[in-house]
Each structure stands twice: as structure tokens, then as C-alpha cells.
């Protein structure tokens, strides 16, 4: 389609990072200040929403897990229609827009409509939440690879569990809380030691953040006992031992046991 791009608005597909507004990029902040319309995901934190100027129009398109959301097609159409009317549009997404974020689909739709698109990267949850918790995703001698995995699928998870069960690497499961039992069973049955350490990071980098350290063999129980809810990440691998409060927790547990004895 041949279109006159100067009369049309531009679509910015923007990553908002894991939640702490100070982890927003300067570019994301600038786009937020200048866009006429902002289409916002549920995952975008309240603190970041508060940075959207009151003159801008906000369109909520997020969904809570298991609930009805605005279908992706409808979001694409909304973005395109607004830009065709001459508005600059910001599609604000949690983390990085291209990591389990469907940003690629929005980019394709906008390009097919002949619109100008710019992607503003964001700090993806794995990188942001782990680093802020003191967990290096790779570490010399402990982990030579890191794999980001989505644990959400319409039906059975179609995952190469054997490859994931290899030692000396880090696994980060997105959207994995409801599948905690399956992750534990699959990895252990493929040979990953149940004593492999892990961390669960709920609401990473946000004021309500909770971090739990434990072992693969306890994953399901940890999720149930602590009533962990989305958004949360499961980080599996020996690197989690380096987490800022991993040692503290162990020594606190020891202290508690001594105290109760």
C-alpha cells in the first residue's frame, strides 16, 4: 500500500521494563511524554502509568491470567486506526516488547498498514529482576548459558525438557507459576538434580517484591505455601546461590531452627 507517511502518526512499540520506573529507558520516557495515545498492558506498573501525562489518552488492553483480554487483532487495529488519524501512538508493554510480548506481531501489522514503526527496547523481566535480586544469569564456572522459556501454552507445553535439564546453565521461566508442578516434574524426570537451587521472584523491582530461595524438588510446594501470584519468574540454576538474600535466608533458617530447638 502506498501511503503518505507525513500525515500519519507513528507507532512506537515501547518496553517499560520490569516495574521500577527508574528502570525505564530515557527513550521510553520521552516517547511517553510525547505520544497522543498510550495502549497499556496490565503488566505495566502503577508507578510507570503515573508518568503518562494527563493530556494523553490511555487505552487499557491488558489481561489478568486466565481472563478475557482484548484480542491481539483488535489491539493491532486500534493502534493502526489511531496512527492513520494522525496520532502518535505508544504501545507500552512490560519488560521488553519482543520477549514473550507479541511486539513482533504488532510491528508486522503496522508495517503492513504502511505505517512508520519504532521499537524502544526495555529491560526484560529475566535480566531486570534477576540482577536486581543479585542473581547473575551467567557466572564463570557456574553457568555458561541462559535460556528464557515461556511456560504458558494453550494445551500441553511443547518444550524440549531434555535440553533444559542439562547442568551448568540457567533457566528462566516466564509465566511459569501455574505450571510450577510440571516444571519440577519434567526437569527432575529428565535428570536435573532436585537439589538444584532456584529462586522465585514475584513482582520483581517493585515495592511489593518477594523473593524465595529453594531447591527444584520444592518448587511446587514453595509456590503453594507462599501463594505466589503473577507476575513471577522462576530462575533455576546454581547462580541463584549468589542472590543477595540467598545466604541470609539460609542462615536465618538455621537461626530459626536453633532458636526453636
Where are the strands (E) in the chain, listed by range? 11-15, 37-40, 57-60, 89-93, 117-120, 146-150, 170-174, 197-202, 210-215, 232-236
Question: What residue is closest to ligand SAH based on CB?
Answer: 95
**Which candidate in 5, 10, 20, 41 is catalytic?**
41
Q: Which of 2, 5, 46, 63 is catalytic?
A: 63
Using the rule CB under 6 A, is 243 a contact of ligand SAH?
no
Please choose, out of 26-34, 68-76, 135-143, 201-209, the segment that lies near ligand SAH by the rule CB under 6 A.
201-209
Instruction: Identify which of residues 62 and 78 has a Cβ nearer to ligand SAH in the complex.
Output: 62
Cα–Cα distance between 59 and 37 in angstroms, integer?
Answer: 7
State the cell numbers at 32: 511517553
User: What's the CA angle centered on 227, arms 223 and 233, to 5 degrees?
Assistant: 50
Of 14, 38, 175, 211, the residue at the interface with ligand SAH (CB under 6 A) is: 175
Q: How far apart are the first and last CA of the chain?
A: 76
Strand 89-93 versus strand 197-202 pairing type: unpaired
Q: Chain centroid to CA 7: how far?
A: 35
Where are the alpha helices (H) located in 133-241, listed in sequence order? 161-164, 180-189, 219-225
The piece of 47-55, 92-100, 130-138, 156-164 that touches ligand SAH (CB under 6 A) is 92-100
CB of 226 to ligand SAH, least distance (A): 14
Q: Which one of residues 231, 235, 239, 243 is an interface residue with ligand SAH (CB under 6 A)?
A: 231
Catalytic-residue membership of 27: no
Residues 128-167 that bind ligand SAH (CB under 6 A): 129
Question: Is 93 marked active-site?
Answer: no
Smaller CB separation from ligand SAH, 72 or 189: 72
How far apart CA 77 and CA 134 sit, in angstroms, is 41
Asked if residue 232 binds ligand SAH (CB under 6 A), the reply is yes
Nearer residue to ligand SAH within complex by CB, 4 or 67? 67
Length of the chain: 261
CB of 175: closest distance to ligand SAH in angstroms?
A: 4
Pick the binder of ligand SAH from 28, 80, 99, 211 (CB under 6 A). Answer: 99
- Distance between CA atoms of 234 and 10, rounded to whole angstroms? 36
Give the footprint of ligand SAH on this chain (CB under 6 A): 18-19, 43, 93-96, 99-101, 124-125, 129, 174-175, 201, 203-206, 230-233
Amino acid at each position: 500500500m502506498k501511503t503518505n507517511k507525513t500525515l500519519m502518526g507513528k507507532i512506537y512499540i515501547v518496553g517499560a521494563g520490569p516495574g521500577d520506573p527508574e528502570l525505564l529507558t530515557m527513550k521510553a520516557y520521552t516517547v511517553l511524554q510525547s505520544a497522543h495515545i498510550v495502549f497499556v498492558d496490565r503488566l505495566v506498573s502503577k508507578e510507570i502509568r503515573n508518568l503518562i501525562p494527563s493530556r494523553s489518552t490511555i487505552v487499557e488492553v491488558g489481561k489478568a491470567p486466565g481472563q478475557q483480554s482484548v484480542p491481539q487483532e483488535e489491539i493491532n487495529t486500534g493502534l493502526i486506526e489511531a496512527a492513520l488519524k494522525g496520532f502518535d501512538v505508544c504501545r507500552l508493554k512490560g519488560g521488553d516488547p519482543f520477549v514473550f510480548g507479541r511486539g513482533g506481531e504488532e510491528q508486522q501489522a503496522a508495517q503492513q498498514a504502511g505505517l512508520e514503526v519504532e521499537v524502544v527496547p526495555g529491560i526484560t523481566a529475566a535480566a531486570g529482576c534477576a540482577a536486581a535480586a543479585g542473581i547473575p544469569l551467567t557466572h564463570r564456572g557456574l553457568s555458561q548459558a541462559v535460556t528464557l522459556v515461556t511456560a504458558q501454552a494453550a494445551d500441553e507445553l511443547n518444550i524440549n525438557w531434555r535440553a533444559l535439564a542439562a547442568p551448568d546453565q540457567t533457566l528462566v521461566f516466564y509465566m511459569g507459576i501455574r505450571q510450577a508442578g510440571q516444571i519440577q516434574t519434567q526437569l527432575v524426570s529428565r535428570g536435573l538434580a532436585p537439589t538444584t537451587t532456584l529462586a522465585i521472584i514475584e513482582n520483581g523491582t517493585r515495592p511489593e517484591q518477594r523473593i524465595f530461595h529453594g531447591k527444584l524438588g520444592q518448587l511446587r510446594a514453595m509456590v503453594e505455601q507462599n501463594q505466589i501470584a503473577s507476575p513471577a519468574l522462576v530462575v533455576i540454576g546454581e547462580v541463584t546461590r549468589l542472590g543477595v538474600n540467598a545466604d541470609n535466608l539460609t542462615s536465618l533458617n538455621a537461626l530459626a531452627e536453633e532458636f526453636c530447638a
